[in-house]
Structure 1
Amino acid sequence: MGGHAVCVVDANVLLNLATPVVDDRSNAPSGADPLKVLLVTYDVHVPASVLGEITDATGSGDLLSAAADLVLQASRHLTTHDVEGQIDGPLEYGLDQGESEGIWLANDLDADLFVTDEFNSTNYLFVNLALNDRNILFTTPHILCTFATADVLAPEYVDAVLTYYSETKGWDQQYVSQLRRRYIS
């Protein structure tokens, strides 16, 4: 994947991007695969703990498990790093191991992007502080909107998927509305 921008992601990002692809309910948007778009647009890196979290989400037969299965099927397109010995443990900000290791990895790789879904909490501020370059912090709704701006995903699809996530994941309406106005209106 040489030549692509380096992107580090946490487990929730991968699972959230896979969810509409495997969700056969009527409110799920169709016609695109946001996980695939991420994987072909960026050189995606993850700590091994992220794949561990995704593996732990498999086997229950529910929507999360189906999303985890899809991510694992696509995992050959991820560059996985064993960073367990590089940091002592999770950062003291209420972040889990995968998120903490992802921040460390993003800093170590001097990544172009670090994508997380910690935006619905004060953890977003802590993630921002922990990154060496605060300009690399993105969220799943933000990255989806940039895909619409770059004509990688249709703006209509991004609008529909943002509504889907807001309804099913409880994403902050004000944040999502601002992204819509800035990127897809």
Structure 2
Amino acid sequence: MSNFILYTYQHTCKKAQPAYILKESPFKSVKKRNESGKTSLPFLGEGFYLWEENIEAAIRWGVRHYQNDYAVVEYSDLHIEKDELLDFLDRRNLRYFNELRELFIKKRPESAKWKIGVWIEFFKKLNVTEPGKFPFTYFRADENLPDLEENYRVKEKMNFVDGLNYYTFLSPLFIICLLDKRKIKCKDKLLKK
């Protein structure tokens, strides 16, 4: 079994000069403050976001979040070391994340209400003072859309068999957040849109 994963990823960004986009992308998603002063944090904390093998999701993001004024950069065969990846689709990784959370919830009960992005930001700071405690530079998750009908349609919900309401998704929305774009090792980087 290999110690890395290798997939093609897409990054959506605001449209600009193609040479600039290819040189500088991906672009970092950071926390933002709205008019009322409330801070909004990206899903998996601050970092560089990519869609896993899903150009349709990258295009949908561009239409929705960049008012159709966007570009999509594709990274083929992006190499990710498994020991640098916190994968929210992997039960062992989830167990590690939840056990670490529980340690801090005991010390700080109010942290039980924190969302995933806040925990990741907290653990990134912890790793500075306690190196190796949270050694991840990549985070992987399956996004679910807030509108259930849209989620089922976009992710292509399909029942396993007739007569039972158990189902799966044929087009999940896997996202990767990476902390350091200098870590990107890929076969090709191309402008797709």
Same fold flag (TM > 0.5): no
Structure in which a larger fraction of residues adopt strand: 2
Larger radius of gyration: 2
Q: TM-score, normalised by structure 2?
A: 0.29
Structure in which a larger fraction of residues adopt helix: 1
